[in-house]
Structure 1
Amino acid sequence: MSKNDTPPEDDDLNNINTTAAGLASGAAITGVAQGFRVVLGFVQGIVLARLLLPADFGLVAMVAPAVAFAAMVKELGLNQATVQRDQISQQIVSNLFWLSVSMSILLAIIMAACAPLLADFYGEPEVQALAVAYAATIVVWGLQSQPAALLARKLAFKTIAIIEVVSLLAGFTVAVATAYLTRSYWALFCGTIITAAVSTLASWMASKFKPMKIGSAEGMKEMIGFGSSIAGFDLLNFASRNADNILIARFHDAVELGLYDRAYKLLLFPLQKITYPLSRVMVPFLSRNVNQPERYKRAYFVAVTIILVAAQPGVLVGILFADEIFLVLLGKEWVAAAPVFMWLGIAGLVQVMTSTMGWLFVSQGRGKHYLMVGAVTAVISITSFVVGLPQGAVGVAAAYAIGDLVFKTPYVWFMASRNGTVRFEDFVRLLMPHLLALAVAAAALYFTGQSFQQIGFLQIGLLLALSYGIYLAVLTLFKEKVSMARELLEMIWNSIQSKRQARAAQKGMQE
């Protein structure tokens, strides 16, 4: 059997719809689900901030880097390898599953054993029990890795969206209920473990995955090699994304870390919730269309435009009215986090686009370039954190934003455009209309805000509506953006019509 031959029992793994209509349908479904997730996550952040203290979030944030590190290591990039590969067999998927589960169990044991050391490092005894508890989540997520990757590979967007929404809703309910009854940081853990358990169980049921015994399979070495490059980037990305928490916790205190963590979670975390799930739509689609340059580039441009439209106007309001938003939504004890929120927002305006460039590296099989980008950007981020650390959480956020805009963003754009269809000038041309829209919206928001004697819930809602309205109005001045919107709507409509015709045909056959 040749390398690209696929046995009959593996046909369901490799028969994948990669049409534009399929992309539109997936993007639409994922967009709706992520809108719900972002709103629910934001509401959860507000409700839990009202029920718990900054120190509670600070304690959990101390454990978070260790959990994130273990999550990165246990994946080994194998889930992305499953999604990216053109042809794959049941035996390979099974081998990757057992490898991932074994790593998860080993890392959970190591983390539990190191819990006393972690508590001593931070000088917080409560961290020990939290670290042991969170070790269990590593195993749960490890069990989900390959079943979830199979769903993404099959472009089962509707199923993935339902799983995400249901698991998040379950975790939200448990977290809020536990916080109300106990007023303890354990509410945050309960929400996390329930979300993981529900998501894992549902992924197994939906994927119908039945692992085989470990056996030899052609292509394993190649997949592990590609996965290792992805894992290397993920580990470096972990270092850059968690060094800030570790440094603040080590050289300041739980309250300072709690303020930083809430600002981060209320801003950059929702932005990640937009880009990460959409990557499960885009990476498989782009991987299957890498040899069709125009289709590849157009799909990427449309997806990035959607992300920028969804995120930038809201982030802009957060930057300009950070003090008022924290006072109204979280209370006066959280206003100290507003400057952190503002600086992170400045970085987030462009970061939502830069973060999508990982799709290009992965879909084009450029694992080594991806690893190189991870190494350089990690150095830039960690250096920024160290520079800003003497000024506390605000200093760390400010240094991070400046480093991100001045150094990291141009470098990532340059590396992403070195090979492949999308060039550096394409990135500039794609972003410029959005920057103009931001400038016009910012001016309108500033003068409108000055007319309010007091800013409450109603005024925040009006400012958000104004920001999105002006932003979209400016984009309509650009023919390419209008063309993208029309194209997206046509693809969604064609997808809906195709599904209707398929259901009608099926109904006719049954009759």
Structure 2
Amino acid sequence: MSSRAGVVLSGMRWGAFGMAASVLAQIGLMACLSRLLTPADFGLMAMALIGLRFLDYFAQMGLGPALVQRPELSGQDIRLGLGLSLLVSGVCVGLTWLLAPLAARFFLRPDLAGILDVLALNFLLQGLSTVALALLRRGLQFRALALIDLAAYVIGYGAVGLALAWAGAGVWALVGATLAQSGLSLVLACSVARHDWRPSLRGDVRGLLGYGAPHSLVSFVEFLSFNVDTTLIGRLLGDAPLGTYSRARLLTNLPTEKVAGILGRVLFPLFSSAQAQREQVGQGFLLGVLGIGLAGAALSLGMAAAAGPLVAVMLGPQWQDAVPLVGALALCVPFLYMCHVAGVVCDALALLRPKLLLQGTALVLLMGAVWLALPRGMTAVVWAVLAVEALRWLAFLVLLVPVLQLRWREVARVHLAVAGMGGLVWGGVRTALAWQDGTPGAGLAIAVLAGALSGLLALGLARPLLRPIAAYGLLRSRVPALARWW
């Protein structure tokens, strides 16, 4: 694994560039679309995406990760992956058309069926790009992946979505943007990967699906866990409350989700190539948890402290109901994405059965907790989600610490650093805003500055806490520029 450290660091740099550009684009697009479309439009699209994602995790049968994780990959494996991907994607399109009326009836929105009929085409677009994107990930071509993602979002989703929203297309602006993003991603990925385009159903089907199918099942359970709250809110409270809730969740998750995406994209092929070296994978896991934990705590707790001006600036005055939700949802973010890093490790080491058991148990707990909390309002739902996410993270640690030959003392030090980061940023932002009595824009600018200064202070205080950890020493040795100031 150490021999590929330079490639990985390069991938992190390109991932950071893509993340920064994507976050800026997504923030700007969110601010514009939130003013051109209504909460009901976003709620209706959220309902459609819930319906689609019930099939989405089976549409690829885990074939992309299976191609990345496979120790040796032949040309026939690539053709087989393409053939299976197209076959399953076509089946999912037909199932979507068949089940769309049932989804519309479940959510009590007859117009949802037509939206699902059109969005079903997204399965084919994603199916065609599965192999190309997997080959780029396997080859650690992070620069190409970052540029493809950025171009597909900015040009495909952003430009098309804004044009349609400006023209008064309503929810169809979001539909068109989604299809345009997938279509452009397909064109760009295939132009770079240039793999054999002759699909086949012959080859090591059992080998690919033996890993891919369980991976897909686990991903589906994770999807259910991530969407239990939105599904029940949409079913019981309607599209407008769901639109408010989904916007609040997107706002709090957005920055950390991008960081987690970079880590997952880099760590999965890296850990897969070092499956037998459990101790090294363990140190990489700690670094991943430290990175996503510090970033998630700083970003989400800063947002929680500045929820009022943040919502006013980013979403507009008609979204004030989202303010208490942003403050509460932000607390879930560090747990959610530290679990994401743990899930990447389980995927790379093929620990799919214990991961499925863990995620399935968390899903049952989450369904019960959200159902009990709904009568008390959406804020109560968020607190229920937070409790389950914390339990899920504890369960991942119990599973992985012995497998990766980690010491609980090191794990505890990482968690103290993360908690210190979140607490200092939250306190710094709250203190700064307490002295501010101006416009929301000025308040948000002050909050960002206070959060940044508090975060730097937290990093300085965390240094002696992290120094005894081997993973921290590895990070400093691999990144000399970082070692000079942290």
Q: Do the aligned partners of 1:354 and 1:413 also contact (CA within 8 Å) in 2? A: no
1:445 paired with 2:429, answer yes
Q: Distance in 2 between matches of 1:436 and 1:373?
A: 28
| TM-score where L is the length of structure 2 | 0.92
Aligned residue number for residue 139 of structure 1:
124
Aligned residue number for residue 184 of structure 1:
170
Q: Do the aligned partners of 2:83 and 2:200 also contact (CA within 8 Å) in 1? A: yes
Deviation of 1:57 (Å)? 0.5
Give the secondary-structure state (helix, strand or coil) at the position aligned to 1:356: helix
Q: Do the aligned partners of 1:18 and 1:285 also contact (CA within 8 Å) in 2? A: no
From 316, 326, 341, give the equivalent of 1:331.
316
1:115 paired with 2:100, answer yes
Cα distance change on mapping 1:174 and 1:488 into 2, 3 Å:
farther
Aligned residue number for residue 175 of structure 1:
161
Q: Distance in 2 between matches of 1:360 and 1:28?
A: 21
Aligned residue number for residue 143 of structure 2:
158
- Structure 2 counterpart of 1:208, which letter? R
1:489 paired with 2:479, answer yes
Q: Do the aligned partners of 1:264 and 1:341 also contact (CA within 8 Å) in 2? A: yes
Deviation of 1:464 (Å)? 1.7
Give the secondary-structure state (helix, strand or coil) at the position aligned to 2:167: helix
- Structure 2 counterpart of 1:236, which letter? V
Deviation of 1:214 (Å)? 2.3
Q: Distance in 2 between matches of 1:401 and 1:385?
A: 10
1:419-458 paired onto structure 2 within 5 Å:
419-422=403-406, 424-458=408-442
Cα distance change on mapping 1:418 and 1:262 into 2, 3 Å:
same
Aligned residue number for residue 207 of structure 1:
193
1:302-317 paired onto structure 2 within 5 Å:
302-317=287-302
Gaps of 5+ in 1: 1-15, 494-511
1:464 paired with 2:448, answer yes
Percent of pairs with identical residues: 22
Deviation larger for 302-311 or 206-215: 302-311
Deviation of 1:216 (Å)? 4.0
Gaps of 5+ in 2: none
Aligned residue number for residue 509 of structure 1:
none
Aligned residue number for residue 196 of structure 1:
182
| TM-score where L is the length of structure 1 | 0.88
Q: How many residues align?
A: 476
* 1:187-220 residue CA offsets vs partner (Å, 9 max, x unmatched): 11111111100001111111111134525435x4
Aligned residue number for residue 389 of structure 1:
374
Q: Do the aligned partners of 1:29 and 1:158 also contact (CA within 8 Å) in 2? A: yes
- Structure 1 counterpart of 2:72, which letter? Q
- Structure 2 counterpart of 1:217, which letter? G
Deviation of 1:483 (Å)? 4.6
Q: Distance in 2 between matches of 1:271 and 1:318?
A: 11
Cα distance change on mapping 1:142 and 1:486 into 2, 3 Å:
same
- Structure 2 counterpart of 1:452, which letter? Q
Cα distance change on mapping 1:440 and 1:272 into 2, 3 Å:
closer
Deviation of 1:344 (Å)? 1.2
* 1:406-459 residue CA offsets vs partner (Å, 9 max, x unmatched): x22211221232423445544322221121222223222222211111352233
- Structure 1 counterpart of 2:165, which letter? A
- Structure 1 counterpart of 2:76, which letter? Q
Cα distance change on mapping 1:403 and 1:17 into 2, 3 Å:
closer
- Structure 1 counterpart of 2:215, which letter? I
Deviation larger for 223-232 or 291-300: 291-300
- Structure 2 counterpart of 1:335, which letter? Q
- Structure 1 counterpart of 2:361, which letter? V
* 1:126-163 residue CA offsets vs partner (Å, 9 max, x unmatched): 21111111111111111111111111000000010110
* 1:250-302 residue CA offsets vs partner (Å, 9 max, x unmatched): 11111111111111111224432321243121111111123334543333333
Q: Distance in 1 between matches of 2:410 and 2:346?
A: 16
Deviation larger for 448-457 or 143-152: 448-457
Q: Distance in 2 between matches of 1:216 and 1:139?
A: 21
1:180-329 paired onto structure 2 within 5 Å:
180-182=166-168, 184-214=170-200, 216-218=202-204, 220-329=205-314
Deviation of 1:491 (Å)? 8.4
- Structure 2 counterpart of 1:29, which letter? W
